[in-house]
Structure 1
């Protein structure tokens, strides 16, 4: 376990300007009096002022997963990423690198690109045709009588970006958290063999959940509710998150089957030189992480009804389909499943205090042919259904948090990762508001 990190990323503080002092005092009090081991007080899920604070203290300060390299494979390819008040353009430049630009024209603030994704040469604002190159430099803003216009003062604003093991992260802070370098070194060896640069997007699903972003993340961080995921339970052991001593009687056989499958998986990982150990530093780092390689039920290959592979093409330099799943959680907004035959990325983008966009992307080998090597409906079935079920669970919690009868409830032992997420969130917000 890594030691606690005494590091607070720096941004231009806007919270004190946007919220009156009495509301700031309320927020500080809610954070300082948070009861460990219990869910948050209702305002954390329902109050627009708390959402404003979250967007500055969390999403304005920390590294956020935005997309995979498969979504922007060629120069000029872009995706737009929106969360809270922010809109970003994630663009592959001519040198093969990534530029992240604020999607706000420097003329009168119009959105420059309005599609979720696409390919572009220059970036042209459709309002008055101000034109920027891939670096965000203003190259055209001509108008009668404006010969002395200083174009160099009005380039698009930029954000920080990192591309690690095929994943693209963005950060809006003036000085991003430095410990992300250490976290990248942790997960690169796990993800590298899957070679995301040699994958393509098979499908992407966007769901708007009527729930606060923290409820979305809390729901993801536990499997206490996994009885509500019948499709997923065919391949994901429902004992995930449980330990000896807290196994219910009806899951004892499943628990033993899980242990046997994990032993066999670890033997294969040692044979192929793949890391599999659990690294769990969810609330002891600024960039909290949990990663491991874990067995799947049935054939142990993929998220199917039988656990068998869903694509005939192995990813990267992997040599065996029966490698379970490499599962990774990153604070604050993402989780991932890396399998031998495909990868699934998940990202949560807050819209407002009661809505969150959940984006799920399925990646397959770039030479896999739909209808020949994989069936798209079969590939996406388990997690499409699971996402809809999770949407329902999150929305049940959001409606409950809005009730006057709501009060914080205790987390169970198997929900320790939910507690770790909330502990991380509270610590980061306290640092920001200090």
Structure 2
């Protein structure tokens, strides 16, 4: 089929791409990015094309679509996507676009269907994307086989669903294998979403991620979170105290007995997994530090599992404890607008009101998310000023931010077709 391409001679993005590459190649590595990376509409379009349409994105959890016909939807910029469980438990992802005249097929966030039916003209698709019905008015020569839904690359591991909108997704087998290993004790086929929230932050998506990648701000901003969370998660962290190192050694001996992985694993700058203790005597990210769910996850016998921290760039961070887990998904809405979705997971047999109270479960992260929203929005307001210029990151407290910006810069350069510099992971 013929592909139509607009003349790009006067495309403002052509010049913006060259300018973007130049800024990334000449940036000061341990400084924040130049202003356009945080507020320019042309650069945001490049982010969507070169990051969110080419990298593997965290989309949701397999437990959200537990049986045949269950679906969920999400938007990657202007690209609506539907994820559906088909026959024999297979999970499919498609562009949520009817092949007739382009209407969205599924208009709800989630639901259950026998078939995928376009609400506009009732074209009907099998759950594997095949077109089954287009009405009799298309003519006798109309070939249903030529108009199936356009697939989106998808993979799953450890209960996580990842999608990729590109035609040639990069490999991520090492991460999937590692994720399966770390989440084996949680038996992720036996979890459910207890409650969830979505908040819109008036800030660029990179500011949302940068804020997450450091706890430099935690003492001044997150009293609820610091009731349970250690500000660092690595004994090699220059800030790690002797008391923390002793606690880690004690807890790791316990986790060895439970056959639970805890080693720090880094897969480049994009993925990071590690288990670290919560504060001594604290077993969960709740206001009182006690379990938020009476029924523990998976095969775990003790609630005192610390926090398994999982990072997947560009759009997810996660905390897995003994009694529940908290997973986060970040999706850009505009140059200065981002939606952060948080889901609290518990054992699928846990009973609301008996084993857990959703309000108690989410109180710490509801407060923390709102505090982070305010921080990111004030960061954005300051960056929009003509007075802003890139400032230095602390290599002690903000090495995670440096790693994120390195990853971002390299991926954009490579996806734009430019050579990226060789970088080393920051300490921690």
TM-score (norm 2): 0.91
Q: Structure 2: how far apart are the matches of 1:242 and 1:22?
A: 46
* Corresponding residue number in structure 2 for 1:424: 407
- The answer to whether 1:26 aligns with 2:19 is yes
Q: Describe the superposition over 1:79-105 as per-residue Cα deviations: whole angstroms up to 9, x where unpaired.
A: 101121111101111210110010111
**Contact kept? 1:301, 1:309, Cα under 8 Å:** yes
**Contact kept? 1:298, 1:308, Cα under 8 Å:** no
- The answer to whether 1:236 aligns with 2:219 is no
- The answer to whether 1:73 aligns with 2:66 is yes
Cα RMSD, aligned residues only: 2.0
SS at match of 1:182: helix
How do residues 207-246 of structure 1 correspond to structure 2 at under 5 angstroms?
A: 207-227=199-219, 228-239=221-232, 246=239
With over 3 angstroms needed to count, the CA separation of the structure-2 counterparts of 1:66 and 1:15, relative to structure 1, is: farther
Which residue of 134, 138, 142 corresponds with 2:131?
138
* Corresponding residue number in structure 2 for 1:277: 263
With over 3 angstroms needed to count, the CA separation of the structure-2 counterparts of 1:164 and 1:141, relative to structure 1, is: same
Greater Cα offset, 268-277 or 194-203: 268-277
**Contact kept? 1:296, 1:307, Cα under 8 Å:** no
Q: Describe the superposition over 1:22-75 as per-residue Cα deviations: whole angstroms up to 9, x where unpaired.
A: 222211211111210011111111111111111121111111111111111111
Greater Cα offset, 261-270 or 109-118: 261-270
Greater Cα offset, 414-423 or 126-135: 126-135
How do residues 366-377 of structure 1 correspond to structure 2 at under 5 angstroms?
A: 366-377=348-359
Q: Describe the superposition over 1:100-152 as per-residue Cα deviations: whole angstroms up to 9, x where unpaired.
A: 01011111111111111111111111111111111111111114362322222
**Contact kept? 2:38, 2:383, Cα under 8 Å:** yes
Which residue of 249, 253, 261 corresponds with 1:263?
249
- The answer to whether 1:123 aligns with 2:116 is yes
How do residues 4-43 of structure 1 correspond to structure 2 at under 5 angstroms?
A: 19-43=12-36
With over 3 angstroms needed to count, the CA separation of the structure-2 counterparts of 1:382 and 1:261, relative to structure 1, is: same
With over 3 angstroms needed to count, the CA separation of the structure-2 counterparts of 1:240 and 1:393, relative to structure 1, is: farther
- The answer to whether 1:402 aligns with 2:395 is no
Q: Structure 2: how far apart are the matches of 1:193 and 1:207?
A: 31
With over 3 angstroms needed to count, the CA separation of the structure-2 counterparts of 1:220 and 1:47, relative to structure 1, is: same
Shift of 1:263: 2.0
Which residue of 156, 160, 182 corresponds with 2:174?
182
How do residues 186-201 of structure 1 correspond to structure 2 at under 5 angstroms?
A: 186-201=178-193
* Corresponding residue number in structure 1 for 2:156: 163
Q: Structure 1: how far apart are the matches of 2:291 and 2:315?
A: 28
With over 3 angstroms needed to count, the CA separation of the structure-2 counterparts of 1:295 and 1:157, relative to structure 1, is: same
With over 3 angstroms needed to count, the CA separation of the structure-2 counterparts of 1:220 and 1:209, relative to structure 1, is: same
SS at match of 1:144: helix
SS at match of 2:281: coil
Shift of 1:260: 3.2
SS at match of 1:112: coil
Question: Size of the alignment, in residue pairs?
Answer: 411
SS at match of 2:87: coil
Structure 2: give runs of 5+ residues left out of the alignment. 418-428
**Contact kept? 2:134, 2:144, Cα under 8 Å:** yes
Q: Structure 2: how far apart are the matches of 1:280 and 1:84?
A: 29
SS at match of 1:111: coil
* Corresponding residue number in structure 2 for 1:350: 332
Q: Structure 2: how far apart are the matches of 1:242 and 1:190?
A: 19
* Corresponding residue number in structure 2 for 1:323: 305
Which residue of 202, 205, 212 corresponds with 2:194?
202
